[in-house]
Structure 1
Amino acid sequence: MKNIIFFLGSLFIAIAVAFGVHSWFSRYDDPGYVLIGIGHWSLETSLVVLGITLVITFFLFYMFFRLLGWLLRLPGKVKSHGQSVKYNRSQEALISGLVDSAEGNWEKAEKILIKHASHSGAPLIHYLTAARAAQSRGAIEKRDEYLRIAAERSPGADIAVGLTQAEMHLSEQQFDQALDTLKKLHSINPGHASVLKLLHQTYRQLGDWEAIRKIIPSMNKSKVLMETEIKLLEAEVFSGLLRQAAENGDYTKIQEVWQEVPDYIKRIQGIPAIYFAGMIDVGAGAKIEDELARSISEDWDETLLVLFGSVHSNDPQRQLKTAEGWLKAYPDNAVLLRVLGKISKRCKETDKAGQYLEKSIALEPSVSAYQLLADLLTEKGDKNSALECYKCALDLASGEVARQVENITG
C-alpha cells in the first residue's frame, strides 16, 4: 500500500512539474523543439511533450519490473509462508507434547512430537522428549531409534543426546550401558559437570570406588559438589577401598590404601576403625597393634577399644598391660573392663578375667560380656553359673531385638 501511494504521489509531482515547465515555456514564442531521427524515420515534438513522455515511460517500466520481480519472488514467498505455518504448528505441537508427557499421556505425546519434529526450530527437543515418552511406555526400541535420529540430525548435540541416553539407562538400572555412554561423553568433555555427576552415580551403583576416586579432582574443579560434600565423598571412597581390600584378604593393599588416605580423612570418626577392622579380619591384627593403641591413647574411642581386644597379639601379656594402662583414666568404663576380661582370658589369667567381666556387667550389662563370662565359667567347670550367664545373654539379646523391631514398626 505504501509503495502504491509513493508511486502515485511521485507520478503526480512529475506531471505537475512538467505542466509547470510547459506554462513557463509558453510565455516565449518558441517553447522548445526536439527532433529525433533514426534511419528514414524521424520524431518531432516539443520539449515539454518529450519530458512528460519520458516520465510516463519511466514509471511504466518501473511498474513492469516491479511486477516482474514480485512474480519471480512469489514461489519463494509461498514456500516461506508454508514453512512459517508448519513452524508455528511444530511449536504448538512441542508445547502440547510436553504437556502430554508431563501428564503421563506417553503415546499421544510421542506421536505428536515425532509428527512435527522435521518442521520444528528445535527438533532435538522433540526427539529427546519423544524418547523419554517411549521409554516410559516400555518401547525401548523406539526410544533408541529416536535417540539415534536426534544424534544424526543434531551433530553438535552429542553431549545432550548422550546425557539423556545415560539418564534413561540409569533409570532402567542398565549401569553398564550407561557407563559406556558416559565414558564417551567424558572423553569429549572431561570437565562437563552433568557428565561427571552421572559418572559418579554410575560408579557408585557399580561399587567402583577407584574410578570415583579418579574423577574427584574433576568434580571438585567443576563444582559438581560443594567442598564439604567432596570431603564426605572422599571419606566414603576410601572407606569403600579399604573394605574391598579387606574382602580380598590382602593386608598389603589395605596398608597401601591407608597410606594414601589424606590426614583430614583419617581424623574423621569411624574411618580408622574401618582400616583397623580390615587388618584384623585378614589376620594382620598384630601388625597394627601398636598403631591402634596409639590411636586409642590419643583419641579415646570405644569402637577402637573393642577392636584392640580383638587383636590376636604376638605378646598377649604386653597387650594386657597396655589396656590396663587405660584404667587409670577410665576405671569405670564397662567396655574397657570387658576388653580387659577378654584379653585376660586369652592370657589364661582366669581369676582376673572373671573380675573384669563381672565388674563390666555390674556397670553395664552386655551380651558379649555375659558370653565371655559364661565361656570362662564353662572352662572352670561351673556349668550352672555358665548356663545362667548364657540365659542372661539370650534375654538381653532378645530384648535388644524386640526394641529394634518396635522402633522399626513404631
Structure 2
Amino acid sequence: MKRLIYFLGPLLLAIVAVFLLNKWLGGFETPGYVLIGIAGWSMETSLVVFAISLIIGFYVFYNFFRFMGWLVQVPGRYKSRGKRIKFNRSQEALIAGLVDSAEGNFEKAEKVLIKHASHSGAPLLHYLTAARAAQSRGAFEKRDEYLKKASNAPGSDLAVGLTQAELSLSGNQFDQALQTLTRLHSIDPTHASVLRLLHQTYQNLGDWESVRSLIPTLNKNKVMLEAEIKLLEAEAFSNLLKQASESGNAPEIQKLWSDIPSYIKRMQGLSAIYFAAMINAGDGAAVEEELTKLLSVNWDETLLALFGSVQSDDVAKQFSVAEKWLSLHPNDVVLLNVLGKLAIKCADPHKAEAYLSQSINTEPTVQAYQLLGDVLFARNEKDKACECYKYGLELASSEIVSQIDAVS
C-alpha cells in the first residue's frame, strides 16, 4: 500500500502540475515557444509542450532512479531477511534446548543447540547449555568440545571457566577443576563464584591448608555468611589437627593449636581433637593441666575419657583429681570407668574393682566389663574374669545388632 502511494502520489502531482501549467499558459495570446540548437541541429516547440515534457521527464527519471536504488538494495535486503530468520530460529532453538535439558532430553537438547549456535546472537549460551547437557549424559569428550567452542567467544573466559569448573566438580574431576579455578583466580582474585568453587575443590581434595589460607579472602569479599565462615574455619582446623595427629609430631600440633583463633577453640569438639592428637602423639602429659582446667569449668564425657587416656607423669595426682570430681558427679559412668582405669595404673586393684563394679551396676558398658575382667584375671580369678569378658562380648554384640537394625 505504501509503495502504491509512493508511485501514484508523484504521478498525481505531475498531472495536476501539467494541467495548471497548460491552463495558465493557455490564457496568453502568444503562449511562447522554445528553440534549442545543438551544432547543426535545432528543435523548436511551444512553451506549453516543453514545460509538460519537462515535468513528465522529471517524473520518469525520478521513478527510474528510485527503482534503480531499490534494485541495488535487493541483495542486502534478502541477506538481512535471511539473517533475521536464522536469528529467530536460533532463539527458538535456545528455548527448546533449555526446555529439553530441563526435561532430561539431553541428547536432543545438544543437537538443537549446536545446530543453531553459529546464527545466534548469544552463541556462548548455546555452547554452555549444550556442555551441561553433555555432562548430564556422561559425554565428557563432547562436553569439553562444546566448552572449547564457547571459549572462542570474546570476553568468555570467566563464564566458560566457571562452567567448566562446576561441571568438573560435579563429575568428581577435582584436579581438573582446581587447574581451571587456579587460572580464573589469577584473572580475578576477588570473584565470588571463583572463590566459592575454589574452597569447595580444596575441601574435596582434602587440602585443608589451602582452605585455611583462603578463608581471609572469603571473609573479606563477603563470599559466605559470617556463621558459615566460622564453621568452615572449625572444619579446616579440625582436619588439620587430625592430619597433624597422624604424623605424630607434638610440636607441630601445639603450633597449629596456638594459631587457631580463640573463638574457634571454644567451638564444641575442637579442643577434644587437639587433646586426642597430643595423646596420640605420646605427649598427653603436656596438655594434662589444660585438660584438667577445662573439665573443671566444662564437664564433658569426651574430654573426661581423654583425661583417662593421658599418660601422666604423676598418675597418683591424676587419680586424686579424678576422685575429687566424683563428689560432684557420683553416678557418672564415664568417670567411674576412668577411675577404674587409673586405679589399675596406680596398682590399686581393690579400688579399681569397686569403681568398675559401681559403673556396671549404674550402666553396663563393654569397657567396664573388659577392665574388670583384666583386674580379676590379674588376681587369678579366671572364672569371674571369663564371665566379665562374656558379658562384655554379649553387650558389644547387642550394640552392633542395634546399630544394624537402626540403619536398615
TM-score of the superposed pair, with normalisation by structure 2:
0.90
- Number of the residue aligned with 2:91: 91
Q: State the AA in 2 paired with 1:390.
A: Y
3-state secondary structure, aligned to 2:189:
coil
| Counterpart-to-counterpart distance in 2, 1:59 and 1:218 | 76
| Counterpart-to-counterpart distance in 1, 2:392 and 2:57 | 120
**Farther off after superposition, 186-195 or 230-239:** 186-195
1:303-341 Cα offsets, whole Å, 9 max, x none, are 101101100011112212222232232223222222122
Offset at residue 24 of structure 1 (A): 4.3
Tell me if the contact between 2:14 and 2:59 (Cα under 8 Å) persists in the aligned partners.
no
Q: State the AA in 2 paired with 1:162.
A: G
**Farther off after superposition, 376-385 or 202-211:** 376-385
Q: State the AA in 2 paired with 1:60.
A: V
Is the aligned partner of 1:119 residue 2:119? yes
Offset at residue 83 of structure 1 (A): 2.0
| Counterpart-to-counterpart distance in 2, 1:137 and 1:361 | 58
- Number of the residue aligned with 1:305: 304
Tell me if the contact between 2:110 and 2:134 (Cα under 8 Å) persists in the aligned partners.
yes
- Number of the residue aligned with 2:292: 293
Structure 2 counterparts to residues 86-165 of structure 1, below 5 A: 86-152=86-152, 154-165=153-164
| Counterpart-to-counterpart distance in 1, 2:233 and 2:341 | 35
| Counterpart-to-counterpart distance in 1, 2:167 and 2:308 | 49
Structure 2 counterparts to residues 213-228 of structure 1, below 5 A: 213-228=212-227
Structure 2 counterparts to residues 147-226 of structure 1, below 5 A: 147-152=147-152, 154-226=153-225
| Counterpart-to-counterpart distance in 1, 2:301 and 2:74 | 89
Tell me if the contact between 1:100 and 1:109 (Cα under 8 Å) persists in the aligned partners.
yes
Structure 2 counterparts to residues 58-69 of structure 1, below 5 A: 58-69=58-69
Tell me if the contact between 1:341 and 1:356 (Cα under 8 Å) persists in the aligned partners.
yes
Tell me if the contact between 1:94 and 1:126 (Cα under 8 Å) persists in the aligned partners.
yes
Structure 2: give runs of 5+ residues left out of the alignment: none
**Farther off after superposition, 257-266 or 130-139:** 130-139
3-state secondary structure, aligned to 1:314:
coil
3-state secondary structure, aligned to 2:151:
helix
Offset at residue 54 of structure 1 (A): 3.7
Is the aligned partner of 1:75 residue 2:75? yes
TM-score of the superposed pair, with normalisation by structure 1:
0.90
Offset at residue 61 of structure 1 (A): 2.4
Tell me if the contact between 1:128 and 1:164 (Cα under 8 Å) persists in the aligned partners.
yes
Tell me if the contact between 1:370 and 1:393 (Cα under 8 Å) persists in the aligned partners.
yes
| Counterpart-to-counterpart distance in 2, 1:340 and 1:366 | 14
Structure 1: give runs of 5+ residues left out of the alignment: none
> Residues 2 and 335 from structure 1, CA distance in 2 versus in 1: closer, same or farther, beyond 3 angstroms?
same
- Number of the residue aligned with 1:55: 55
Q: State the AA in 2 paired with 1:141.
A: E
- Number of the residue aligned with 1:316: 315
Tell me if the contact between 1:182 and 1:199 (Cα under 8 Å) persists in the aligned partners.
yes
3-state secondary structure, aligned to 1:280:
helix
The share of aligned pairs that are identical, in percent, is 60
Offset at residue 292 of structure 1 (A): 0.7
**Farther off after superposition, 356-365 or 269-278:** 356-365
> Residues 134 and 333 from structure 1, CA distance in 2 versus in 1: closer, same or farther, beyond 3 angstroms?
closer
Offset at residue 32 of structure 1 (A): 6.1
3-state secondary structure, aligned to 2:68:
helix
The alignment yields a C-alpha RMSD, in angstroms, of 2.5
| Counterpart-to-counterpart distance in 2, 1:62 and 1:222 | 68
| Counterpart-to-counterpart distance in 1, 2:54 and 2:191 | 70
> Residues 227 and 50 from structure 1, CA distance in 2 versus in 1: closer, same or farther, beyond 3 angstroms?
farther
- Number of the residue aligned with 1:347: 346
Offset at residue 351 of structure 1 (A): 2.3
Tell me if the contact between 1:15 and 1:52 (Cα under 8 Å) persists in the aligned partners.
no
| Counterpart-to-counterpart distance in 2, 1:36 and 1:231 | 102
1:20-72 Cα offsets, whole Å, 9 max, x none, are 35534544545566665655556656665555444333332221221111111
Offset at residue 363 of structure 1 (A): 1.9
Structure 2 counterparts to residues 30-41 of structure 1, below 5 A: none
> Residues 32 and 252 from structure 1, CA distance in 2 versus in 1: closer, same or farther, beyond 3 angstroms?
farther
| Counterpart-to-counterpart distance in 1, 2:390 and 2:44 | 141
Offset at residue 380 of structure 1 (A): 2.4
Tell me if the contact between 2:336 and 2:359 (Cα under 8 Å) persists in the aligned partners.
yes
Q: State the AA in 2 paired with 1:232.
A: L
Structure 2 counterparts to residues 239-250 of structure 1, below 5 A: 239-250=238-249
- Number of the residue aligned with 1:399: 398
Offset at residue 276 of structure 1 (A): 0.6
Offset at residue 355 of structure 1 (A): 2.2
Tell me if the contact between 1:306 and 1:339 (Cα under 8 Å) persists in the aligned partners.
yes
- Number of the residue aligned with 1:373: 372
Tell me if the contact between 1:371 and 1:393 (Cα under 8 Å) persists in the aligned partners.
yes
